[in-house]
């Protein structure tokens, strides 16, 4: 749900974050206006129980919240965590995740430059 002053039409970055701890096939699929800052936040909060996230792939998009929701639908339900907390980590092969992210990024290309990711 968009926060104050935000809408589903905001431009930003969709990303695939990977973790060496989780290994291949488990990825955080998310959105951010600043992926570098988001990576630091994921690690600082120990998102999904790990703190070694890195941005494996990212692309600028318009309508980032709506596109993120569609991406999540493509990958099925997120993986459960030991603590039972809700996280957006999916079990999906990286080539498939990258393909879908790139496809949506092409369809929802921003009208204006989004800014630098890092």
- Report yes or no on whether pTM surpasses 0.85: yes
List pLDDT tens digits, range 22-76: 998 999 999 999 999 999 999 999 999 999 999 999 999 999 999 999 999 999 9
List phi, psi (to 5°) of 83. Answer: -80, -10
**Separation of alpha carbons 8 and 50, rounded Å:** 29
Helices of type H across the chain:
35-45, 64-75, 94-107
- Predicted confidence (pLDDT) at residue 5 exceeds the cutoff of 90: no
- Predicted confidence (pLDDT) at residue 97 exceeds the cutoff of 60: yes
């Amino acid at each position: 749900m968009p926060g104050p002053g935000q809408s589903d039409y905001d431009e930003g970055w969709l990303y695939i974050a990977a973790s060496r701890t989780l290994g291949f096939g488990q990825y955080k699929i998310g959105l951010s206006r600043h992926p570098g800052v988001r990576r630091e936040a994921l690690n600082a909060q120990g998102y999904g129980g790990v703190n070694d996230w890195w941005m494996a792939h990212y692309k600028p998009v318009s309508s980032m919240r709506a596109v993120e929701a569609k991406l999540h639908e493509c990958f099925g339900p997120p993986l459960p965590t030991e603590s039972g907390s809700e996280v957006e980590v999916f079990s999906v092969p990286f080539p498939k995740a990258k393909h879908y992210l790139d496809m949506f990024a092409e369809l929802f290309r921003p009208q204006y430059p989004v800014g630098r990711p890092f």
